[in-house]
Structure 1
Amino acid sequence: MDPQHSFINSPDNHRIPLVSWAPQHPCAVMVIAHGMAEHAARYQALAHWLNEHGVAVVAIQHRGHGPNCSDAELGHYADYQGWQKVVDDLAQIVSHARKQYPALPLTLFGHSMGSFIAQAFAQQYGDQIDNLILCATNRIDKTKLRVSLGLVRAIRAIRGKRHHSRLIDRMTFGAFNKAFTPNRTTHDWLSRDPQQVDRYLKDPLCGFSCTTGLWSDFIGGMLKINPAIWRKDLPVHLLAGDQDPVGEMGNGFSRHVADLRAAGVYVASERLFPGARHELVNETNADEVWAYILNCTPGSTAHA
C-alpha cells in the first residue's frame, strides 16, 4: 500500500503533514509520533507490516521535521509555545484518525521524543485514545532536566531561540555515541544494523541540529509531565533496548516503569530487548520488536 500524504490545518495556520498507510479491511488504527531529527516516512516498513495484520497507520510530521518543513524551520517547533503546539497538533491528528476509523480501537505509539509528546498528550487528551505505547523512552529526571534547561535557556538568551548550539549537540547525540567507541559513524548508538545507520546518515531529513528554542520547549515540556493525573484505566506499554543510551542502558527505562506504576498508571506490559540500541523498529531483531508492538495493539490480528 502506497502512503497517502495529506494536511490538517492547525488554529495558528500551520499545515500539519500526515502520512497514512491503510489495509483494505482495517481492524485497528495506530497513530505514530516520531522522534527528534527524523520523520514519519521512516516508519513505512513497520506500517506495511502492521497493515498486513489489519492495523491502519497514521503518522504525524512534527513541527520542525519532515519534507514539508523549510530549511529555516528545520529543527524548530515554533517561536512561541512550541511544546503545546506540537501536543495540540498530535491531538488534531488523533481526532482525524478517530473520524476516519470511528469504530476501531486507537493506539498512540510514540518513539523517543515522540514518546514524551505522547505522554503529554495522554495527560491532556487521554480520553481520546484506547492504548499507549512508549518506545525508547526514559525516566523524567527532574533534577537533571532543570539543570539542562538552565543551560539551554542561558544559551538561548545570548544567541537567540533559533540558534543551533554545537555544545548542546555534543551533550546529547554526541554523548550517546561515546558509549559505542571505537565508532564507525557519528550515530552508532541508533542501531546495531549498519545499513539502517547508513540510511539515516544519508537522509537529509535526519540527524540535523535542533534549535535552542526547540530544546527549551522540549525539556520544559518534559518537566510538565505528571503521570499521577493521567487516566488510570489507560493501558500503557513500554519497550526499549538495554543498550540504548537515551534510556540509560535500561536503567532509566526501568526507573520510568517503576515511577509510572507508583503514580497509579496502568502499565499493561514492559519489555527490555537485550543488546538493542535506540531505534528499536530498525534494529537487527526488528521482527521481534514489531511482533511485540502488534501484540500490544488491541483489535489487531494478534488479538483475533
Structure 2
Amino acid sequence: MLHEVNFLSYNKRDQVQGWIYVPAARPKGIVQIIHGFGEHSRRYLHMIVKFMDAGYIVAADDHVGHGKTAMVSGVWGDWGDAGFHTMMEDEHSLKKLVCEKYPNLPYFIFGHSMGSFIARDYAAKYGEDLAGVTICGTTGVFRGADKAAELLKKAIDDGLGMDSNPEFTGALMGWMCERCDDVTIGNEWICSDPYVQRDHAEDPFDAFTKPTSNRSLYDFTQMMLAIEGTQWAERVPKDLPFYNIGGDQDPVGEYGKGIYEVSNWLCDTGHDVKTRVYSGYRHEIHNYSEIKNDVEEGIIAFMDGILGI
C-alpha cells in the first residue's frame, strides 16, 4: 500500500510532499528515511523495498527546495526564512502524520548526509520518541563550515540572502573532489560508479545542479555547527541507540575521521553506538551495487536487534 501525503512546512510557505510505503504483511515497526542535500527520497527506492520486505513501514518526504516539494512550489534551492531547524521540524510533522495512521509501532529514523545532520538534530529534540537512529555519510567537524558561515552571514546582512553566489558554494564544498580522478561533473565524490554520478546529475527531481540561496546555504552551515561535539550528544537521550555507517573515502566524513568523531562524542556521553566504516567507498555507500545489500541488511539487523528479533 502507498499513501501520498502532504503537509505545511515549518517555513509556512511550502507543502512538503511525502510518501508512506506499507508492506503487505503485519508491520513490526516504522523507519523514516531522511534524504540528503540536493537529492530526493526516490533515490532510496532500493532501500525502501528492502525495508518493506523486512516488515517495516517506510516513510519519506522531499525537503523544501528539493524534489517533488520544489516542483509543486516552484521554489528550488531555498528553504524559507524559518531557520536551520526547518527540515528537522518537517520530519517531525511527517512522523506525527505517520503515527496517526499507524500508531503504537516502534519508530526508527535513517538519515543520509544532510539527512544524517537532520536526524541528529531531531534526536536531540525528539529522541525520546524513537527506538533507534541510523546515520549514514555523516560529518564530524565539517571542514570550512565556520569560515563559510561568516561569509554567508555577511552577505545576508548586506541584503543578499536570496542571491546565490557560487563563490560561497565553492568555499563550503568546492574541495570535496580532491581525491577523485577525472572530475567532469563535480559530484564524483558521492560514488566512484560513473552511472551513479550521471544518474544523480541528470535526475530532474534533484536539486544538486540548481543554485542554493545564500540564506539556505547559511542554514546548512548552522545545521552542521549545531550537531558538533559532546554538547550536541549530551542533548540526545542516553537510551537511544545509534548505528553510524559510512565510507572511508567520503569527504563529508573526512575520510573516516569524522565518522569516528561522531561515534566518540556519543560514546563519551554514555550512548550506545555501533560504527561500521566501509573501506574504499565514497559518500553513497548504499548506491554501490556490490555492497548496497550488505549496507541495508546491516541497518535491518540493527533495528531487528533493538526489537529483539
Query: Scaled by the length of structure 1, what TM-score is found?
Result: 0.90
Q: Distance in 1 between matches of 2:155 and 2:179?
A: 26
Match of 1:20 in 2: 20
What is the deviation of 1:96?
1.8
What is the deviation of 1:270?
0.7
Q: Does the aligned pair in 2 maintain the 1:281–1:289 contact within 8 Å?
A: yes
Please say which of residues 278-287 and 165-174 is displaced more in the overlay.
165-174
Q: Does the aligned pair in 1 maintain the 2:30–2:106 contact within 8 Å?
A: yes
Match of 2:115 in 1: 114
Match of 2:128 in 1: 127
Counterpart of 1:274 (choices 276, 279, 283) is: 279
Q: Distance in 1 between matches of 2:275 and 2:18?
A: 28
What is the deviation of 1:146?
2.7
Residues 37 and 90 of structure 1: CA distance in aligned 2, closer, same or farther (over 3 Å) = same
Residue 98 of structure 2 aligns to which amino acid in structure 1?
Answer: A
Over the matched positions of the two proteins, sequence identity in percent amounts to 26
Match of 2:153 in 1: 153
Match of 2:224 in 1: 222
Q: What RMSD over aligned residues (CA atoms) do the two structures have, in Å?
A: 2.2
Match of 1:94 in 2: 95
Q: Does the aligned pair in 1 maintain the 2:16–2:69 contact within 8 Å?
A: no
1:60 partner SS: strand
Q: Distance in 2 between matches of 1:263 and 1:160?
A: 40
Match of 1:136 in 2: 137
What is the deviation of 1:52?
1.1
Q: Does the aligned pair in 1 maintain the 2:63–2:69 contact within 8 Å?
A: no
1:38-57 → structure 2 map (5 Å cutoff): 38-57=39-58
Q: Distance in 2 between matches of 1:150 and 1:247?
A: 22
Match of 2:201 in 1: 201
1:82 partner SS: coil
What is the deviation of 1:129?
1.2
Q: Distance in 2 between matches of 1:6 and 1:202?
A: 26
Q: Distance in 2 between matches of 1:65 and 1:186?
A: 19
Flag structure 2 segments of 5+ consecutive residues without an equivalent: none
Q: Does the aligned pair in 2 maintain the 1:295–1:303 contact within 8 Å?
A: no
Query: Scaled by the length of structure 2, what TM-score is found?
Result: 0.89
Q: Does the aligned pair in 2 maintain the 1:19–1:40 contact within 8 Å?
A: no
1:271 partner SS: strand
Flag structure 1 segments of 5+ consecutive residues without an equivalent: none
Number of residue equivalences: 299
What is the deviation of 1:182?
2.6
Residues 43 and 195 of structure 1: CA distance in aligned 2, closer, same or farther (over 3 Å) = same
Q: Distance in 2 between matches of 1:139 and 1:205?
A: 28
Q: Distance in 1 between matches of 2:82 and 2:180?
A: 36
Q: Distance in 2 between matches of 1:292 and 1:93?
A: 25
Q: Does the aligned pair in 2 maintain the 1:152–1:212 contact within 8 Å?
A: yes
1:249-268 → structure 2 map (5 Å cutoff): 249-267=255-273
Q: Distance in 2 between matches of 1:272 and 1:200?
A: 23
Q: Distance in 1 between matches of 2:238 and 2:272?
A: 6
What is the deviation of 1:131?
0.8
Residues 198 and 209 of structure 1: CA distance in aligned 2, closer, same or farther (over 3 Å) = same
Q: Distance in 2 between matches of 1:39 and 1:149?
A: 25
Match of 2:4 in 1: 5
Pair 1:58 & 2:59 matched: yes
Residue 237 of structure 1 aligns to which amino acid in structure 2?
Answer: Y
